[in-house]
Structure 1
């Protein structure tokens, strides 16, 4: 049977940064102007085809950004291979949010967790960038990309960046065809 590499990706950031909208844009190629607020944690997955013909399963864990749910994020960050730190480029408090979430990730990430910083809502900034945010990103020394869930800008590029990370210790899972007989079993549904 074929195997698919599985990578756990946790998505963190302030409430309203566009985490759920970004995932919806990637998974469904749609944009909801007013998506439901994530309560706790939401899980989705998508299998992505890589340029070498192999596939990778992205397990996408969407965390709630509200203060009352922040205590849930560390355990998901700790066991993830990629932490996407999403912040709202149009938010005047973006630097504070970026620093807070970067500290949480740095404190709780596993030894092999890769952090990618994502400036979302680039469609709202019209070329202006907050200087303090630029400095934080530069000092963080993580990969960085700007996206727009609304227009779809750089969404595919972001998840291509995620899927193409060097993951030498991938866990694999077998593809199980539900309608295929198991080895050494009769093709009867009942015994």
Structure 2
């Protein structure tokens, strides 16, 4: 079981994303999330492996509070979502990413893999954030990648989640392998040195 955060401003589509991903359902109106909501999703990878995810849908107002440190604890990956038709939600991604990088780490002290997800790509006439801006932002803030999606039309979600999940599992396996190599025997003890958990 891997803990995956879903963060971003209010009304960018985080709750819709989770419901579409988990239940393949979409509604035009959702009540704003208060605090955090949870859902479980099993991702079938291309190699036949099944990966269980615990999705934490965190309220868009939470970045301004100290509660994010509690919500982020133990996470292995993150989706940072913005609305392609809302310039402010894109600009605020820098604050969300900084908050994330300041508060949660993998066991090797590196940042958790984070995917930048632009929602509402179906609203072509209302779009205000360009591909060039997204790519530049992705590189500047060290995202593993960026994906455009439409929760309403169910496009881009599953591809994005597979990419994030495969990157997360690969990263955690690398850490676990490094930890396994660190296990050894000290001169005055036959007890093996404890290894740190990967995520």
TM-score, normalised via structure 1 length: 0.77
1:61 maps to 2:56: yes
2:19 to 18, 24, 35: 24
Please identify which structure carries the higher helix content. Answer: 2
Check conservation: 2:84, 2:127, Cα contact below 8 A. no
Structure 2: 5+ residue stretches without partners: 177-199
1:147 maps to 2:149: yes
Please identify which structure carries the higher strand content. Answer: 1
Q: CA deviation at 1:71?
A: 2.8
Cα distance in 2, alignment partners of residues 32 and 108 from structure 1: 33
Cα distance in 2, alignment partners of residues 137 and 83 from structure 1: 14
Q: CA deviation at 1:126?
A: 4.1
Name the Cα RMSD after superposition.
2.2
Distance 1:99 1:122, change over 3 A: same
TM-score, normalised via structure 2 length: 0.74
Cα distance in 2, alignment partners of residues 83 and 61 from structure 1: 9
Cα distance in 1, alignment partners of residues 91 and 127 from structure 2: 18
Cα distance in 2, alignment partners of residues 47 and 95 from structure 1: 29
Deviates more, 1:111-120 or 1:70-79: 70-79
Check conservation: 1:12, 1:63, Cα contact below 8 A. yes
1:89 to 84, 93, 112: 84
Cα distance in 2, alignment partners of residues 56 and 68 from structure 1: 28
- Moved >3 Å (runs of 4+): 67-70, 125-129
Q: Which position in structure 2 is the counterpart of 1:118? A: 117
Structure 1: 5+ residue stretches without partners: 1-5, 171-191
1:116-151, Cα deviation, whole Å (9 max, x unpaired): 111111112349553584332232231111111111
Check conservation: 2:73, 2:104, Cα contact below 8 A. yes
